[in-house]
Structure 1
Amino acid sequence: MEELLKYQGNLLKNFQSSWYRYLYKDLLVKERLLGIKGLRGVGKTTLLLQHLKEILDQGEKGLYVTAEHPYFYNQTLFELASLWYSYGGKVLLVDEIHKYPDWSRDLKLIYDGFPELRMIFTSSSALDLYRGEADLSRRLETQILHGLSFREYLSLYHQISLEPIDFQDIIENTLSISDGLIKKIGEPVLPLFKEYLQAGYFPFTKDLKAERIPQRLIQIINTVLESDLSAIQGYNASNVIKIKQLLGVIAESVPFEPNISKIAEKMHLGRQTVNIYIKHLEDAKILNLLYEQVRGISQLQKPGKIYFENPNFLFSLQVNPSIGTVRETFFMNQLRNSGRIVSISKKGDFLVDEKYTFEIGGRNKNKTQIKNVENSFLALDDMEYGIGNKIPLWLFGLLY
Structure 2
Amino acid sequence: MEYIPRVLLNEIIEYIDRREIIAIKGPRQSGKTTLLKMLKDFLINKKNIDEDHIIYITFEDNEILYKFSENPKDFIRKYITDNKRYYFLIDEAQYCKDLGKKLKLIYDLFENIKIIITGSSSLELKNETAKYLVGRLLEFELYPINFYEFLLYKDQKIAKIYREWNEKILNLLINNSDFEIKKDVDIYINDLLKYLNEYIKFGGYPAIVKAKSEKEKIFLLKNLINTYLDRDIVSFLNIRDIIKFRRLITALSSLNGSLINITQLANEVNSYFKEIIDLLDILEQTYIIRRIRPFHKNLVTELKKENKIYFVDTGLRNYLINNFNDIEIRNDSGTLIENFILNELYQYGKINFWRTKNKAEVDFIFEGKEIIPIEVKFSTIKKNILTKSLYSFIKNYNSKFSIIVTKNYWGERIINGNKIKYIPLVYF
How would you bin the TM-score normalised by the shorter chain?
Answer: 0.7 to 0.9
Q: Which of 31, 53, 65 is the matching residue for 2:57?
A: 65
Could you tell me how far apart the structure 2 residues matched to 1:55 and 1:45 are? 15
Is 1:21 aligned with 2:18? no
- SS of the residue corresponding to residue 188 of structure 1 reads helix
Give the structure 1 partner of residue 79 of structure 2.
84
Report the alpha carbon displacement of residue 214 of structure 1 after superposing the two structures with TM. 2.3
- State TM-score, norm by structure 2: 0.78
Q: C-alpha displacement at 1:135, in angstroms?
A: 1.5
Matches within 5 A, 1:33-44: 33-44=21-32
Aligned AA for 1:355?
Answer: I
Per the alignment, in what secondary structure is the counterpart of residue 258 of structure 1? coil
Q: Residues 252-276 of structure 1, C-alpha deviation per residue, up to 9 Å, x if partnerless?
A: 2322322212222343433111101
Residue 349 of structure 1 aligns with which residue? 363
1:116 lines up with 2:112 in the alignment: yes
Displacement after TM superposition at 1:330 (Å): 0.5
Q: Which one-letter code corresponds to 1:139 in the other structure? A: R
Shift of 1:286: 0.6
Q: 1:350 Cα shift? A: 1.1
Query: Do structure 1's residue 335 and structure 2's residue 345 form an aligned pair?
Result: yes
Indicate conservation of the 8 Å contact 1:314/1:326, yes or no.
Answer: no
2:291 matched residue in structure 1: 289
1:128 CA drift (Å): 4.4
Q: Please show how residues 251-262 of structure 1 align to structure 2 within 5 Å.
A: 251-262=253-264
Determine helix, strand or coil for the equivalent of 1:129: helix
C-alpha contact 1:174 1:387 (8 A) present in aligned 2 = no
| Alignment correspondent of 1:390 | 422
How many angstroms does 1:86 deviate by? 4.5
Where structure 1 has 5 or more consecutive residues not aligned to the other structure, the ranges are 1-15, 296-300
Secondary structure, in 3 states, of the residue corresponding to 2:294?
Answer: coil
Structure-to-structure mapping, 1:122-201, within 5 angstroms: 122-132=118-128, 135-160=132-157, 161-162=159-160, 163=163, 165-166=167-168, 167-169=170-172, 172-173=178-179, 175-176=181-182, 188-201=191-204
Deviations 1:164-217 (A, max 9, x none): 5142347833623x869x56x697322122122112512222331222212312
For residues 206 and 332 of structure 1, do their structure 2 counterparts lie closer, same or farther at Cα, with a shift above 3 Å needed? closer
- The aligned counterpart of 1:378 is 404
Match of 1:11 in 2: none
Per-residue deviation, residues 5-57 of structure 1 (Å, max 9, x unmatched)? xxxxxxxxxxx245531011111212331100111222211111111123234
- Distance across 1 between alignment mates of 2:117 and 2:253: 33
TM-score computed with the length of structure 1 as normaliser: 0.83
TM superposition shift of 1:118: 0.6
CA 1:302–1:273 in 2, change beyond 3 Å: closer, same or farther?
A: farther
Q: Do 1:385 and 1:391's aligned partners in 2 also have CA atoms closer than 8 Å?
A: yes
**Once the two structures are superposed, what CA deviation does each residue of 1:303-339 show, in whole Å capped at 9, x if it has no partner?**
52111123222322231561011111101111103x2
Determine the C-alpha separation between the residues in 1 that align with 2:113 and 2:425: 45
CA-atom RMSD in angstroms:
2.8
Number of corresponding residues = 369
SS in 2 for 1:168: helix
Q: Which amino acid aligns with 1:312?
A: G
Identity of aligned residues (%): 23
User: In structure 2, how many angstroms separate the alpha carbons of the residues matched to 1:155 and 1:306?
Assistant: 29
> Where do 5+ consecutive residues of structure 2 fail to align?
298-303, 356-360, 395-400, 414-420
